[in-house]
Amino acid sequence: MGDFENFEDEKQYELDNIWENYPSDFIFKSSKDHKEKVHKKILSLHSPIWKGMITSKNSPEYKSGCLVLEDVKLTSMKGLVHYLYDQHYEWMRLNFNARPRYFADLWNLAENYQVKNMKAAVKSEFRAFTEPDSGEKYEDEPWRYARDAVDVVCKARDFPDELWLEMVKEWAKFRSNCQPSEREEVEKIVNSHAAFARAVRDEAARGGY
């Protein structure tokens, strides 16, 4: 780590220095040719995989100054760049049906490129989207937001197991501790998808909820 006590301190120093002194020198590109400009210094700081790509003179990325993120949507690529530069991406503005893919893309990028601390950040944001008492409500139907969030995740294909389990754990805890007045609606949501209902009940039994 050198002169810094932790990763966050070093990251903040580099971010401040980058904005003041250096133009971007690398590009993320989607398979549909959308582009996002980034800095090699920031990529090297966040990921040993990226560091190897941009420092090895034999790598395609070193020669092209570009990394193609296959099958990653533009919104997900923007979310990645916002994370790297310590900015918040407004995923809540995304269509409900687009949110599972967004979180799955970011999780897979964090895993594939070993991006420091990113999986924890994605998990936290995903929990804010799917937890039963997220604070997001519709006035006309208070439980519709929670029901819709569970529904789109349960219908998503190739969704990361760890994020799925995070949602299951939150609902297993909430189901066991909810108020009697909430019980009927909670059961409706849990039972809306058979696989989700089984997973929630299994988790409740395992965790002693």
Q: What is the mean pLDDT of the chain?
A: 88
* pLDDT for 18: 62
Cα–Cα distances in Å, from 108 out to 16, 78, 112, 187?
28, 15, 6, 31
Whether residue 33 has pLDDT greater than 90: no
Instruction: Decide: 165 and 122 in contact? Cβ < 8 Å.
Output: no
Whether residue 114 has pLDDT greater than 70: yes
Q: How confident is the model at residue 23 (pLDDT cuts 50, 70, 90)?
A: confident
| Backbone phi and psi for residue 4, each to the nearest 5 degrees, phi listed first | -115, 145
Whole-model pTM? 0.85
Listed as own residue / partner, the contacts of 87-92 with beta carbons closer than 8 Å and 24 or more positions apart are: 91/125, 91/129, 92/129, 92/136
Q: If you average pLDDT over residues 49-59, what whole number do you get?
A: 94
Place of tokens 């990028």: 109
* pLDDT for 13: 57
Q: How confident is the model at residue 19 (pLDDT cuts 50, 70, 90)?
A: low
Q: Checking DSSP bridges between strand 35-38 and strand 66-69, what pairing results, if any?
A: unpaired
* Closest among 148, 61, 72 to 107, alpha carbons compared: 72
* pLDDT for 11: 60
Q: If you average pLDDT over residues 124-150, what whole number do you get?
A: 81
Instruction: Decide: 171 and 153 in contact? Cβ < 8 Å.
Output: no
152-182 CB burial, b ≥16 within 10 A, e <16: bbbebeebbeebbebbbbbbbbbbeebeeeb
* pLDDT for 1: 45
CA 126, distance to chain mean position in Å, is 6
Question: Tell me: the pLDDT tens digits for 158-184?
Answer: 999 999 999 999 999 999 999 999 999
- Residue of 207 and 170 predicted with greater confidence: 170
* pLDDT for 86: 79
Decide: residue 46, CB within 10 A, 0-12 exposed, 13-18 middle, 19+ buried: buried
Q: If you average pLDDT over residues 107-121, what whole number do you get?
A: 95
33-47, 75-89, 152-166, range with greatest mean pLDDT:
152-166
185 vs 179: CA distance, rounded Å: 11
